[in-house]
Every structure is written in C-alpha cells, then in structure tokens.
Amino acid sequence: MQPEPSSRTRPRWLSVLLLLVALPAQAERIKDLASVGGVRGNALVGYGLVVGLDNSGDRTSQAPFTVQSLRNMLGELGVTIPPNVNPQLKNVAAVAIHAELPPFAKPGQTIDVTVSSIGNAVSLRGGSLLMAPLRGADGQVYAIAQGNLVVGGFGAQGRDGSRVSVNVPSVGRIPNGATVERALPDVFGAGGEIKLNLHRNDFTTVARMVQALEQAFGPGVARAVDGVTVALAAPTDPGARIGFLARVENLELTPGSAPAKVIVNSRTGTVVIGSQVRVMPAAVSHGALTVTIGEDLQVSQPGAFTGGSTVVAPSSTVGTSQEGSRMFKFEGGTTLDEIVRAVNEVGAAPGDLIAILEALRQAGALRVELEVI
C-alpha cells in the first residue's frame, strides 16, 4: 500500500475538499435541523424618494417618474407646481425599498431597510429617505420607512464621461429605518399541533426526530407527516407552548447521512464529493495533449544587381506533445480518502477530475447523483 501524500504534495483544493466532506456525522440540535411551521419572515417592499444628494440624483429628462413622484408628494403637502414648470432636479432620486418583517414583530419595533436606486442616480451617498410605506404581498402597509442612508460605495465622474466607483454607491441601508405599524396574524397559538419542518427532505432524519421526541416526552407526542414534517401534540396554553418548544429545539439527534452526490461548478472548476460516494472497480487513464504553434519571420535578400527586392516571409512551426498518462485503479467500495489519494497521485487538476468523474459515471462505476451548477 502506498503512503498517503503529505500536505505539501497534496493540492490545496483537494485538501479543502477532503476537510469539508469527510467529517463524521455527529448529533445536532433540532433547532438547527428544522423550523417551526408558520414562524417565518415576510418580505416588504415600497417606493420612495431620496433627497439631499450632491448633484448625483436622477436626471429628470431620462427619469420622468421622479418629477411625477415629487409633484404628487408636494401636492399632498399643499405645494402646487404649475403645469408648465418642469423642475430640473439633480438632488432627488426615486428608490425602491425592501425589508423583511421578522416573525412576532410588534407595532413600534424597528427593522432595517435596504434602499436601491431605480432611476439613473449616480450615488445615494449623503441622501435622506422621505417617509415611505412598506407593503406586504397582500397590499397592506406593515411598516413606515424614513431616515438617513448609509452607503458603503463611492463614485466619481469627470466631465468627459470617465468614471470610477468603489463597490455600489447606488444602494444603501438604513439601520432601524422602518417602524412596524401592523403585526402579522398570530399562527403560533392557533390549533393544537405544532409542526416542525426540516430544512432538507430526509426520511431517516424524520424517523429519528420522532424517536428522540418520544423518548423525551413520552409516546404519542410526535408523529411523522411526510419526509419533511413532524407534528407535535403541544399544550394549548401559550406560556406552556413556549416552554415546550424551548425543550424541543434543544434536543439532539444524529441526522441521516447525506445522499451520495458529486457537485460540480462548471464555471469555477470547483468539485465537491460527498462522504457517501463509492466507486465500483474501475481503471482510469487520463492524459493531456499539448499543441504548440510558433511564428517566425524569414528575410529573403536578393543577390547584387539582380533587380529583386527584400521580402519578409512568415514561417510557422506546429508541434504536438502528449504527456505521459498513468493508469490508476479504483478498488471496489473505494472511500473518499482513497479517491482523493488516487487523484493526487496522478496529479489531476479540477478540470481533469470533472472529466474523470463523468467518465466513471457513464461507465456505471460511479453510482451517484452528479449535479452540475
């Protein structure tokens, strides 16, 4: 048996891959494996105006909706702009606002908001968002946003059109920039059952979760609904339900093993091999063909008194070379450690490893799910 390559000879990307996917399974808390049904955030979106910009706002000739929004806002404040007046503004920008309303948020609490330019504003740095409602998917107003923007990007532009920017200056955030005005309907206290939904579909994990809950609280307290959901018979009193869930989410169990899968990122060449991957007996040989093309210039000088002229003629040379490819063998039931060791010995790059894995799968020696992203 050949010794395992040292960390100096092993490529870094293979060492990281081995570290990530070869760790043994261990017990995890239920709160890390599942979420309580109905306890979720809700997306909010709104539209507003950012004012006070330093000549970096929307150009109204190309973004007429900014002027229209300004007219509507000033009209509600009692200021009327004559119809024949078209304000040419550079310090106002139309923006889209989005935020997430967390579960159990109550009126008066604050949430963070993100503000993004939807016109042609160059930068939102130094701007202030005017009061804007944030609506949910049902069209109801759940929060009101307003405040000064924090912009991490920076941009500068010259008169000749040249421009330099750092990060994205047309997007900013307002910490605690929205105040909750309406609470979400209470679904936590409704009904006699509480459902736990796994983050990943796995029948083995569901069965083990039911077993762990029954060992902790007694038979009949939990039942498996499907490959994702476990239903709990919870107390009806809100205070008791909170205490019950506090105990449930801290229970530990060993989740089921992940399916045998190989994930390939075709753009970056990243390959991740799951710990359950096994290879049937197979022999692999992989080599590389190198083509070299050289260009040279040859000068043709005519003899004296011949009447000819000097000519420069191109000369091309084409050569090919095939690197010596070595054949290596995968024994039946090969583990992840042995796969990495064999690929290390042949010196395959990430792109070569992708080709090897695809060929093994086509030959029926790699019985896994190959996912290309």
Task: Indicate whether 352 belongs to any domain.
Answer: yes
When mean pLDDT is compared across 116-120, 134-138, 258-262, the lowest value belongs to: 258-262
> What is the C-alpha to C-alpha distance for residues 162 and 71, in angstroms, rounded to an integer?
33
Last residue within a domain, chosen from 180, 206, 226:
180
Instruction: Say if residue 174 is in the same domain as residue 46.
Output: yes
Task: Indicate whether 302 belongs to any domain.
Answer: no
Burial 183-197 (b: 16+ CB within 10 A, else e): ebeeebeeeeebbbb
Question: Mean per-residue pLDDT for 135-139?
Answer: 92
When mean pLDDT is compared across 8-12, 227-231, 261-265, 301-305, the lowest value belongs to: 8-12
Instruction: Say if residue 337 is in the same domain as residue 353.
Output: yes
> What is the C-alpha to C-alpha distance for residues 359 and 286, in angstroms, rounded to an integer?
10
Q: Which of 33-42, 43-52, 72-81 has the highest mean pLDDT?
A: 43-52
Task: Indicate whether 116 belongs to any domain.
Answer: yes
Residue-range definition of the domain harbouring residue 353: 12-23+260-297+314-372
Is residue 212 a contact partner of residue 251, using CB atoms and an 8 Å limit? Answer: yes
Question: Mean per-residue pLDDT for 259-267?
Answer: 74
Better-predicted residue by pLDDT, 43 or 5: 43
> What is the C-alpha to C-alpha distance for residues 262 and 275, in angstroms, rounded to an integer?
10
Q: Is the pLDDT of residue 303 over 50?
A: yes
Instruction: Say if residue 208 is in the same domain as residue 248.
Output: yes
Last residue within a domain, chosen from 123, 153, 180:
180
Task: Indicate whether 68 belongs to any domain.
Answer: yes
Instruction: Say if residue 320 is in the same domain as residue 273.
Output: yes
Instruction: Say if residue 232 is in the same domain as residue 358.
Output: no
Task: Indicate whether 7 belongs to any domain.
Answer: no
Give the pLDDT confidence score for residue 266 in this predicted structure.
67
Q: Is the pLDDT of residue 61 over 80?
A: no
Instruction: Say if residue 170 is in the same domain as residue 48.
Output: yes
Question: Mean per-residue pLDDT for 320-343?
Answer: 61
Tally of structural domains, the chain: 3
Give the pLDDT confidence score for residue 22 in this predicted structure.
44
Instruction: Say if residue 267 is in the same domain as residue 245.
Output: no
Instruction: Say if residue 322 is in the same domain as residue 199.
Output: no
Give the pLDDT confidence score for residue 131 in this predicted structure.
93
Task: Indicate whether 30 belongs to any domain.
Answer: no
> What are the C-alpha distances in Å from 193 to residues 30, 36, 37, 175, 301?
17, 11, 10, 37, 97
Give the pLDDT confidence score for residue 356 in this predicted structure.
73
Q: Give the contacts of 91 (CB within 8 A, at least 6 positions apart).
A: 51, 52, 53, 54, 55, 56, 57
Report the share of the chain in percent with pLDDT over 70.
Answer: 70
Last residue within a domain, chosen from 122, 150, 180:
180
Better-predicted residue by pLDDT, 281 or 332: 281
- The DSSP output letter for 268 is T
Instruction: Say if residue 102 is in the same domain as residue 193.
Output: no
Instruction: Say if residue 171 is in the same domain as residue 193.
Output: no
Question: Mean per-residue pLDDT for 84-97?
Answer: 84
Question: Mean per-residue pLDDT for 178-203?
Answer: 84
Radius of gyration (Cα) for the chain, nearest Å? 33
Give the pLDDT confidence score for residue 86 in this predicted structure.
73
Return the H-helix or E-strand segment holding 43. Answer: strand 42-51
Instruction: Say if residue 358 is in the same domain as residue 276.
Output: yes
When mean pLDDT is compared across 14-28, 233-247, 276-290, 331-345, the lowest value belongs to: 14-28
pLDDT band at 20 (very low <50, low <70, confident <90, very high): very low
When mean pLDDT is compared across 41-50, 159-168, 206-215, the lowest value belongs to: 159-168
Instruction: Say if residue 278 is in the same domain as residue 158.
Output: no
Task: Indicate whether 4 belongs to any domain.
Answer: no
What does 134-196 look like in DSSP terms, one character per residue? EE-TTS-EEEEEEEE-B---EEEE-TTS-EEEES-TTEEEEEEEEEE-SPPP--SSSSSEEEE
pLDDT band at 6 (very low <50, low <70, confident <90, very high): very low
Task: Indicate whether 2 belongs to any domain.
Answer: no
> What is the C-alpha to C-alpha distance for residues 175 and 148, in angstroms, rounded to an integer?
9
